[in-house]
Amino acid sequence: MPARPLLRSLLFVPGTKPSWVETAIEAGADAVILDLEDAVPADSKADARQTVAEIVSGWQSEARLFVRINPLTGIGSIDELRSVVGPRLSGVMLPKVRCRGDVLLADRLLGWCEAELGLAAGTVALVPLLETPAALWDAYGIARTAGRVAYLGAVTSRGGDIERSVGFRWTREGTETLMFRSSVLLAARAAGIHNPVSGLWTDLHDSAGLQQFAELTRQIGYAGMLAIHPSQVAIINRAFTLSDQEIERYRRIIAAVENGSANGSGAVVVDGVMVDEAMAITARAELWRAAGAAEYGNLPPPSGPVRHPEEP
């Protein structure tokens, strides 16, 4: 499967609002998700599909492009996939996933679309949205079902499908969803998903709450987050980006451990904390994401936030 890019922020844009796409790009979103599902009224879905297909075919931005399709429920689903899959499409988001069978079906249909267009198998990533208790419970199995599965994570939007189906009561602190956000994160990492993505934050007037939620999401191990408004992108990007202070500390750890090893010491003290080669490996992995593999060695895609050079 092709390497999937590291994404911090993935911003939804309704398929009925093509004029909003440029705003999403200008906001600095790493990826734009054109939505054909919940954001589109039933009587507008045909027009939205045509609009989204045109956007996909003419996509020129460096931001990655995804489409959230409607659930795979009938023959019309094949037509929807055929209309949006193309060489400029990074991935498809599959809503209302119930079990591995849903992922297998989507994987097969996407494979047919790729073959029809002459694209390499696995070109289009598949992002299963775990919006049922069964899907949350089997997150590891779902992640391992197809090689194209990517960016898998737990979504915990207020009042949405997941709150209704699980039965929790949403709070600003998020303690009621921390357990399954963490369990899905562990399942995704165990399955080899290098860029698990979580979300959403729906209160557009509570930027402080979003910042707190994004920082906690990063702290428990996620690498990116979904957004529903351009104003959220900068906050999310900042939460999943290494600061200069973090980068400098990682460099000190690497230098101290290497110097200690050269002098016969396996463990050294940095900033009052005992560190050894395990911590140095973590530091190199974080810096791999921040500055690229060339300076720090040829490592596999690691976990952690990515720092874009143009950002402070």
How would you write the pLDDT of the chain (312 residues) with one tens digit per residue?
778 888 999 999 999 999 999 999 999 999 999 999 988 988 999 999 999 999 999 999 999 999 999 999 877 788 999 999 999 999 999 999 999 999 999 999 999 999 999 999 999 999 999 989 999 999 999 999 999 999 999 988 888 888 888 888 888 988 999 999 999 999 999 999 989 999 899 999 999 999 999 999 999 999 999 999 999 999 999 999 988 899 999 999 999 999 999 988 889 999 999 999 999 999 988 888 776 544 444 445 455 555 544 443
pLDDT at 293: 42
DSSP code of residue 155:
B
- Other residues' Cβ atoms within 10 Å of the Cβ of residue 60: 7
Residue 37 parent element (H or E): none
pLDDT at 305: 53
Q: For the chain, give the longest Cα–Cα distance.
A: 72
Tell me if 168 sits within 8 A of 158, measured CB to CB: no
- Matching residue, tokens 């199995």: 141
Query: How far is residue 310's CA from residue 106's CA, in Å, rounded to a whole number?
Result: 37
Query: How far is residue 225's CA from residue 151's CA, in Å, rounded to a whole number?
Result: 10
Query: How far is residue 251's CA from residue 256's CA, in Å, rounded to a whole number?
Result: 9
pLDDT at 115: 97
pLDDT at 70: 94
Token readout for 211 is: 């910042």
Tell me if 220 sits within 8 A of 178, measured CB to CB: yes
Domain boundaries, the chain: 9-239, 244-296
Tell me if 61 sits within 8 A of 36, measured CB to CB: no
Query: How far is residue 185's CA from residue 173's CA, in Å, rounded to a whole number?
Result: 18
pLDDT at 291: 64
pTM score, whole prediction: 0.88
Burial of 166 (0-12, 13-18, 19+ CB in 10 A): middle
Q: Which fold has domain 9-239?
A: TIM Barrel (3.20.20)
**List of residues 6+ apart from 107 with CB closer than 8 A:** 126, 145, 146, 148, 149
pLDDT at 306: 53
Q: What is the dihedral of CA 41, 160, 157, 94, to 10 degrees?
A: -60
Query: How far is residue 95's CA from residue 269's CA, in Å, rounded to a whole number?
Result: 48
**List of residues 6+ apart from 197 with CB closer than 8 A:** 7, 10, 127, 151, 152, 153, 222, 223, 224, 225, 226
